[in-house]
Chains A and B, each alone.
Chain A
Amino acid sequence: MMTTAESTAGERPPKTGLSHRPSAFLHRHTHTRLAALLSAPLLWLVVIYLASLALLFAAAFWQQDPFTSQLVRQFTTDNVKEAFTNPAYRTVGVRTLVIASSVTVLCLVLALPVAFYAAKVAKPRGRRLLIVAFLVPLWASYLVKAYAWRGILGENGVLDWALKPFGLSGPGFGQIAVIITLTYLWLPYMILPIYASLDRLPNSLLEASGDLGGKSGRTFRSVVFPIILPGIAAGSIFTFSLSLGDYIAVRLVAPNFTVTGNQIYNNIAGGGNTPLGAALALISVLTITIYMLLVSRTGALREL
């Protein structure tokens, strides 16, 4: 990019009109141009985003004045220790991990056939309709969807009513309700990347596999799966991290159920104990980071 800019600057002298001066100046000074272009987004990223994140993590190593509830900037590792050793945070942390993993697996199981049908089987018109169907739920507010599930899963809700003729009842509020709701909420984030990678997969590869005698199972294992793995990885990062951090939908479909997100919210937003909340947030972010490192170790992220 820089070499082309320099060469054109050498070939043709810039116009000298008053209105052209700033653009001519920027044309010659490629570094200034780059700085002007990037300073605003970089400021946003570094100062607003990364610095506030750093400040939150720093709070995990500070103390809180027991009289005034204000932060005292003195170094301590007690909060992180507490977050790891207190069974209240450990069991809830493990429970949250189980939920995030279940949601991810469920999303994958549901997304694979749908994405495959949309990308490889459906006719162009049907494909367009399907993609719209994937996207439409994303246009509705998160809260509206969570409340809808509250109505569906609640005691005497729609699900109970529908199952009643068969002598069954819905799961009610609780862990299963949380998994169902989160799976619904994050499913499009799994379908879309898988669909995108299937779309790039040439049909000829599938035909070649068939010509070589590969049955559908073998074709999926040896041809399709390795190619869509980056898409699955991307989707799973969405579903896993979004589930790990959610607490509002949880609040709605399982009022008496606690996940790590609730604990972070209660400790920070509800006041009480900001350093401990920060320590819990730090652990959540570390979990996601470890997950991303594991995923990138498989090489799946290089394709993105």
Chain B
Amino acid sequence: MQRKRLLAVGALVASASLVLAACGSDDNGGSGSSGATPPDNTALQELGANEGQLRVLAWPGYAEDGTAYKNTDWVTPFEQDSGCDVTVTTFGTSDESFKQMATKQYDVVSASGDASRRLIYAGLVDPFNLDLSTTYDDIFDDLKDKPWNSVDGVAYGVPHGRGANLLMYNTEKVKPAPTSWAPTWEADSPYAGYITAYDNPIFIADAALYLKSTQPDLGIENPYALDQDQLAAAKELLMQQAPNIGEYWSDAFASIESFTKERIYLGTTWQYNANYVADQGTPVKAFLPSEGSTGWSDTWMVAHDSPNVNCAYAWVNYITSPGPQAQVAEWFGEAPANEKACALTSDKNHCDTYHANDAAYWENVYYWETPTPDCADGRDVTCTSYAEWKTAWDEVRAG
């Protein structure tokens, strides 16, 4: 490669980039506007004939069709019943689900709270006509009309299931038994080097939640609505925690292994992980600490202008009905949203283990939401956006 030719190619790419960057502003259909109100998409008014096909975008484990595990299949009965041929695509993170939905190749999506608001404000999903829902009456009341599934009382989907991020600890190594998140956050923790934390910007909310009870002066109400000072305080706490972290985790099975191999003694986890570790014979307990915790609540949403909208409604009605809810909840390891599912689980204690009926338990759980500049707690200041959280997280992890 000669230098001149190298320079020429570089110049070509650079000039093309600059031209692209400079022109083409504002041709992306309104998403560049303030975004404080979602686009006025309209909900389906009445059901018609099923279209014969449906494209489902879901968390792994939410729409199993027997390909991964032979006897784990609740998609095929739906296909036979409705005549809708289902293709399932899975995603690994909420950000990924958002990017996939932006391609407009899907009819229905299981969105967590940190994706659903983005989907609503970007106009990628339509409001959901609850008159056409056959299951909404059986959904737990404390999951209805929440910021991550509704805007101004207009529902954008039907709740699917929920879980809390718990504190898991090794009962032989961690004594006395903790009641709060303090041993994972404090600089002088006796378990330095054996603590784990979730490797994602959304974990900033966990720090904010701890500060909410330990530093009330900061005035944190909702851990997803942080102004500049509050975000800085949360970042400082995370930086203080960083040297004590033995391992950050994002892959559930990597974290399970760390606990079973006793490389990690305590830290944030999911109920599913905790059950798995306990099954392996490691003495662990997972509980909801006194400060409360973060968690997730997922919602089935219908894509904007979906060509298979009738099949999409049929799917949402099916997957939120008691039978499939029980199957998904047990397979995935979470609390079902449909109250009647609790009678149908094969493990009769499932709903108790996952606190499905325990409204008081969920009062201290702050479900994942997308941080946006308009504060979710209604304060009249500018809050920090997810991009700012992302940068703050990079700063924490750069250390």
Contact = CB atoms under 8 A, between A and B. Distances in A.
A19 to B, nearest CB: 40
B16 A70 contact: no
A160 interface: no
Contact of A57 (B14, B28, B93, B98): B14
Interface string B15-46: 01110111111111001101110000000000
Interface string A41-63: 00000000011011101111110
Contact of B31 (A51, A72, A91, A302): A72
B49 interface: no
A138 to B, nearest CB: 22
B263 A256 contact: no
Nearest to A293: B3
For A51, A69, A92, the residue with the greatest tally of chain B CB atoms inside 10 Å of its CB is: A69
Interface string B78-121: 00000000000000011110110010000000000000001001
Contacts of B10: 289
Contact of A72 (B28, B36, B373, B394): B28
A271 B394 contact: no
B386 A65 contact: no
Interface of A: 50-51, 53-55, 57-62, 64-75, 82, 86-89, 91-92, 155, 255-256, 258, 262-263, 266-267, 269-273, 276, 289, 292-293, 296-297, 301-302, 304
Interface in B362-378: 370, 372-373
Scoring A51, A86, A266, A297 by chain B CB atoms within 10 A of each residue's CB, the highest score goes to A266
B140 interface: no
Nearest to A67: B35
Contacts of A269: 96
A57 to B, nearest CB: 4
Contacts of B28: 70-73
B236 to A, nearest CB: 14
Contacts of A66: 35, 372-373, 385-387
The 3 A-B residue pairs with the shortest CB-CB distance in the complex, in nearest-first order = A271-B95, A67-B35, A66-B385
Contact of B99 (A50, A271, A293): A271
A283 B54 CA distance: 43
B93 A50 contact: no
B13 A54 contact: yes
A178 to B, nearest CB: 15
A89 B35 CA distance: 29
A86 B395 contact: yes
Nearest to B99: A271
B3 A267 contact: no
Nearest to A74: B25
A263 B394 contact: yes
B118 to A, nearest CB: 5
A297 to B, nearest CB: 8
5 contacts: A61-B17, A62-B21, A69-B386, A73-B28, A272-B390
